[in-house]
Structure formats: C-alpha cells, structure tokens
Amino acid sequence: MLKVGIIGGGPAGIFTALKISEFSAQVKVFEAGDYSNPRVGEHLVAEALHEFGRLGIPRELLVQNSKACSQVLNSWGRTDLHENPSVFNPFGDGFILSRPDFDHALMEYARSQGVDVQLNQRVVKAEKLSKGWRLYFANESIELDFVVDASGRNSKFKPTPEVGKELADQLIGITSYSRVTDPEEHGECGLMVEPLADGWWYSVQLQSGTWVGTFMTDAALLTGSDLSAGEFWQQRLMESYFTRKRFSASSCDKPIIQSAHSRRLSQTYGERWLSTGDAAISFDPLSSAGIIKGFRLGILAAETIRQWQQTGEEALLDYDTEVQRQYREYLTYRKEYYARESRWPGHAFWYHRNMWPKEIQDFSIRPEDELQVKQPVDEKALELLGQRLPDIDFKALIEAIQENPKAAGAMEQYLKHKGLGKNMPPYLLHALESLKKTRLIELQHGI
C-alpha cells in the first residue's frame, strides 16, 4: 500500500488527505501546531460549498464555524464606499470564517474519516531515499513512498536545489484583533476594503464579535518607517476614513505580521513529491481565492498521485502545467485589479504594482503628442522609476522633454544626450508611459 505523508494540516493538506483516503493508500498529515495560534484569512467564497460536496463534507462544518458574508464594501478607486451585495453572486453568500476554529473542525472531520493527523509534528529535515522519503521530526522519523508539501507560502521543504521560489512582491499583512460588541456604533460589520497611499485595509467582524483589522503593505515600507508594527498599524488607521470608524473606540491587541506575497515554485513536483496549496502558488489576499484554491489544488494533488501510480512522471508534469497556468491567470487578474486604483501613482506600493511593460498597441503617447513636465519635479517618484527601469536615465529624459516637448523630438534629444545616436535603448517608450502614469508629465495636445 502506498504511504503518503502530507506536511501541513491547513485546508490544502486536509483536502489532499481526504481525497487520498478514497483510494488504496495510507496517508498521514503532519501539522506543526495544534490550531491554537491565530490564523489570518477569514473570507471564503460561496463556491466552497461545491468543493465540500465533492468530498462529502457536511456543510454544517462550515456553517457552524463561520457567519454569512452578505456584503463586501470597498472604496477601491473611489472616495465613497461601494457595496457588492452577494445577491448578484449565483452561489449566494460567502463566509467569514472563525479561524483557527474552522481549520481545527476540518481536521477533526478528517480524523473521523480515518485520516491520521499528527499534531505538533514539525518536519525538521527531509531526506531523499531510493524509493521515497524519510521525514525527520524532533524525536523521530518516518519513511514514506510519496510526500506532499502543503505547509503554506513560507514552506521550508526544499527537495532539490534547483527548485526555487519566484516572488512577485513583498506583501505583508499587519493584523490586530479588537472586541467591539456594538455593530450599530461602528457601522456595517461586513467585509470592507479601503485603499491608502501605502497599501490597503481589510476589516471584518467575526462570528464571536471580534473585529479583525489587517493593513496590507510592502515589507520595505514597514521596515523603512522606523516604526514598530503597532505604531505603523495605528498610524495607517488614523490615515483611513472608513476603517478607523470600526476601531476608534476599541483597544486592539498587539499586531501580528504575516507574509502575504504572491509567489510560485519554479517547479511544483519532482521524484515522489509535489507541492500544493500556498506551498505551490500563493495569491494576494485581495483575490479572496487563497482558501478555495487550497481546496481545489488539494483534490487535484490527490488525483495526480493516483494517476502517478499508473503513468509515472507524466501525471506530475500535467499537474505542474495546470498549477502554473492558474498562477499566470491569477497574475493577469491581479494586475487588472490593482490598475483600477490610480490615486497614488507616485507612491511605491502602487507604483510597483502598476508599472508593467505594455504592448506597443497599448501605448497612450503618440509621436506627435506634446509633453509638459510638471513642476516641481518629484525626485522621489523619479527614484522609483529608476528602480523599475534601471537602464533609463530619467533625469536626462526629463531634461530632453523640457528642451523638446514633442514626444518624438524628446526621444531624439535623449538619444543625443546619452550619445546613443539612433540606437534606442529598450523600454524608452515604456519610460515615457511611466512618466505619464506617475503624473510627472502631462499631454498638452496632439494632432
């Protein structure tokens, strides 16, 4: 009988285990904790009930550990709050989970179905054997035929040196919890998203009455602020308009910091192993797709292992192809959604998410357009542009525009300044678009 070990007892790991238990295999789940520590990530879309049905999990497990999310409020790209009622979702209301209660209940259900879940078993070493793996824990080890890494976006499982992590950003979430028992005093208790210059707020009230407030930002913005996480959280709370109303009359717990970056493994499989859930690909919490992605990839991982027993590595390759496809699709969605917020183009958080090289047909500046440099020139914005397109001398480009306002003439002037003749460097057109996007230049008129 095939012996499968799963590292991680979150949604992806448990769903993998439940699906594997349906066919002839022995499965063990190794969870590093005991589900007593806070677990951030509360929103689950309504489609999750379909995934529960695929494995025969009773919907009561979800209902008892959550409350309905009938509305999502956001001020993304606007100054007022916009409501997205779930009546427009054909699947109905989503769910606000009480985590880690939900994860613990899911684990207990898996145990009731015969899945062996080992708590407080942190894998400290993985050794490749001729036909399998040996996993080491604090006081013991175990031999397995196949290993599934479902240990999350901060996974330490590194089966081979060639498998690398490719990060799209350095997003973190700074989360604090607060008990406010009077929703009337603090407005609607649904999920709310509010962007600011240095990131965006996510807040919601849990079933217990506890409020969760998470500020999503880049790690460098926190470390470069010379503030503690608590001070940074409080300062951004005061900068908000809608979110602070939810926390203004409450005392908040000491914030916790968790990584929330988007990233993928360069390869999600190898000899007798694969990664699933956030260990394989992790999404920005803005997508609200992290947990349901874990459900679906967990089921797919289990089905892949069953197919691997019949066809070998071909099944693993097909799995990797599908996972990478999903990640590319997600990046497209992520780029489009962040582009809807254009109020702070010169701030590092938004700039790094919105300055993407474009196709030539998507350029908005034409050769005959006349450009004007906005005064005074924002030196900080120029520095950010230089980080994104280091081959371009943006100060020289600004000077060229001032000398020759017509777009085509400005580029010729830049080439002359840099001694490049007619050898246009890569991304010079993108540089012009970036100056316009960050509002360092304006279009005057065009023919």
Task: Say if 401 falls within a structural domain.
Answer: yes
pLDDT computed for residue 185 by the predictor = 46
DSSP 101-152: HHHHHHHHHHHHTT-EEESS----EEEEETTEEEEE-SS-EEEESEEEE-S-
Contacts of residue 313, Cβ cutoff 8 Å, sequence gap at least 6: none
- Judgement on whether residues 129 and 277 belong to the same structural domain of the protein: yes
- Judgement on whether residues 291 and 156 belong to the same structural domain of the protein: yes
Report the predicted TM-score, pTM, of the whole model to 2 decimal places: 0.82
> Which helix (H) or strand (E) element contains residue 328?
helix 313-338
- Residue 134 domain boundaries: 2-41+99-167+262-338
| Integer Cα distance of 182 and 205 in angstroms | 11
Q: Omega before 38 cis (within 30°)?
A: no
- Judgement on whether residues 138 and 271 belong to the same structural domain of the protein: yes
- Judgement on whether residues 26 and 125 belong to the same structural domain of the protein: yes
Number of domains in the chain: 3
pLDDT computed for residue 287 by the predictor = 87
Task: Return the structure tokens found at 165.
Answer: 């992590």
Low-confidence ranges of the chain (pLDDT < 50): 181, 183-187, 446-447
β-sheet with 116-118: strand ranges across: 116-118, 25-30, 2-7, 146-149, 273-275, 269-270
pLDDT computed for residue 19 by the predictor = 97
Task: Say if 90 falls within a structural domain.
Answer: no
**Residue among 229, 169, 243 nearest 200 (CA):** 243
- Judgement on whether residues 7 and 156 belong to the same structural domain of the protein: yes
Query: Which CATH number fits the domain that encloses residue 322?
Result: 3.50.50.60
- Judgement on whether residues 7 and 103 belong to the same structural domain of the protein: yes
Task: Say if 92 falls within a structural domain.
Answer: no
Q: Does residue 151 contact residue 32 with C-beta atoms inside 8 Å?
A: yes
- Judgement on whether residues 24 and 107 belong to the same structural domain of the protein: yes
Task: Say if 73 falls within a structural domain.
Answer: no
Last residue of a domain, one of 202, 231, 259: 259
pLDDT computed for residue 446 by the predictor = 47
- Judgement on whether residues 209 and 115 belong to the same structural domain of the protein: no
- Judgement on whether residues 8 and 124 belong to the same structural domain of the protein: yes
pLDDT computed for residue 75 by the predictor = 95
pLDDT computed for residue 447 by the predictor = 43
Task: Say if 295 falls within a structural domain.
Answer: yes
DSSP-based three-state secondary structure for 428: helix
- Judgement on whether residues 135 and 279 belong to the same structural domain of the protein: yes
